[in-house]
């Protein structure tokens, strides 16, 4: 699918894993092609900066992956915000997940060979891509963990072969809503592309703002359309950037 762009000014919100880049066996095994970085750089300039990465990764991780490009971004499912690429990352999430919870999650991971813990301060993830059979048991153990720490008000956020523990006060929809009230996003029609259940609040936010929501790898009634895979998203973005480069 190659979506037609609406008339008038737009803004772009882009999920990262499974949308811009292909899923890899481990979080640190992803590949970001140089031409994707160049495409995003061109589009960021074309949109006067109204382009943001909206990811479950930390913004520091995004900067590392997309180096030398530094974009407006939201990280850790909305817990981190960077409203200007030249500014520092702000936390909007309150307290970090406690060290005790992280330690208990590491204990759980220790009893499931192949699982991997990723501590992102405002969320802690347990990846089971290399241990898919552990899914149900992990879900049960995580449920017991958050019930035993009810005061921390944590939720389980499922993603692609991963469970994350985070608070309910932030998500990608809140993050996009925060961007939309500020320059250079304000007054532009937002477009969000995402591939995961964790992107649902983002889809809802742009649709509520009169924008367009595109899924990747699946289709769902109510969304504006879908891309087959991240390569199709990259081709679409490259096409837009090419139009700019040729003055189209």
Span near ligand L263DTV3 by CB under 6 A; candidates 49-57, 140-148, 177-185, 212-220 = 49-57
CB-based burial label for 87 (10 Å; 0-12, 13-18, 19+)? exposed
Q: For residue 241, what are the CA distances in angstroms to 33, 38, 52, 215, 235?
A: 15, 9, 16, 20, 10
162 binds ligand L263DTV3 (CB under 6 A): yes
CA separation for the pair 75, 171 (Å, rounded): 10
118 binds ligand L263DTV3 (CB under 6 A): yes
Of the two residues 169 and 244, which places its CB atom closer to ligand L263DTV3 in the complex? 169
Q: Across the strands, what pairs with 192?
A: 13, 213
Q: Which of 39, 44, 57, 240 binds ligand L263DTV3 (CB under 6 A)?
A: 57
Site for ligand L263DTV3 in 172-201 (CB under 6 A): 196, 198
Q: How many residues bind ligand L263DTV3 (CB under 6 A)?
A: 23
Q: Which of 46, 106, 121, 129 binds ligand L263DTV3 (CB under 6 A)?
A: 129
Q: Are 23 and 17 in contact (CB under 8 A)?
A: yes
Structure tokens at 170: 């932030």
User: What residues act catalytically?
Assistant: 15
16 binds ligand L263DTV3 (CB under 6 A): yes
Residue nearest to ligand L263DTV3 (CB): 56
CA separation for the pair 195, 230 (Å, rounded): 9
CB-based burial label for 76 (10 Å; 0-12, 13-18, 19+)? buried
Q: Which residues bind ligand L263DTV3 (CB under 6 A)?
A: 15-18, 23-27, 30, 55-57, 118, 125, 127, 129, 159-162, 196, 198
């Amino acid at each position: 699918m190659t979506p037609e762009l609406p008339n008038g000014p737009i803004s772009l919100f882009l999920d990262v894993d499974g949308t811009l880049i292909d899923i890899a066996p481990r979080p640190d095994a992803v590949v970001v092609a140089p031409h994707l970085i160049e495409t995003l750089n061109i589009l960021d300039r074309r949109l006067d900066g109204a382009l943001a990465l909206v990811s479950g990764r930390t913004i520091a991780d995004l900067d590392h992956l997309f180096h030398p490009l530094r974009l407006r971004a939201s990280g850790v499912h909305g817990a981190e915000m960077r409203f200007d690429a030249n500014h520092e990352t702000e936390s909007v999430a309150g307290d970090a997940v406690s060290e005790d919870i992280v330690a208990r999650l590491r204990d759980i991971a220790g009893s499931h060979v192949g699982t991997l813990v990723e501590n992102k301060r405002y969320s802690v993830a347990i990846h089971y891509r290399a241990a898919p059979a552990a899914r149900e048991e992990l879900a049960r153990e995580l449920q017991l963990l958050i019930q035993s720490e009810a005061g921390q008000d944590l939720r389980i956020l499922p993603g692609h072969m991963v469970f994350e523990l985070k608070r309910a006060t932030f998500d990608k929809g809140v993050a996009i809503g925060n961007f939309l009230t500020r320059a250079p996003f304000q007054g532009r029609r937002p477009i969000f592309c995402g591939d995961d259940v964790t992107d649902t609040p983002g889809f809802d936010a742009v649709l509520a703002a009169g924008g367009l929501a595109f899924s990747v790898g699946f289709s769902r009634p109510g969304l504006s359309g879908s891309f087959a895979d991240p390569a199709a998203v990259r081709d679409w973005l490259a096409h837009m950037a090419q139009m700019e480069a040729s003055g189209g």
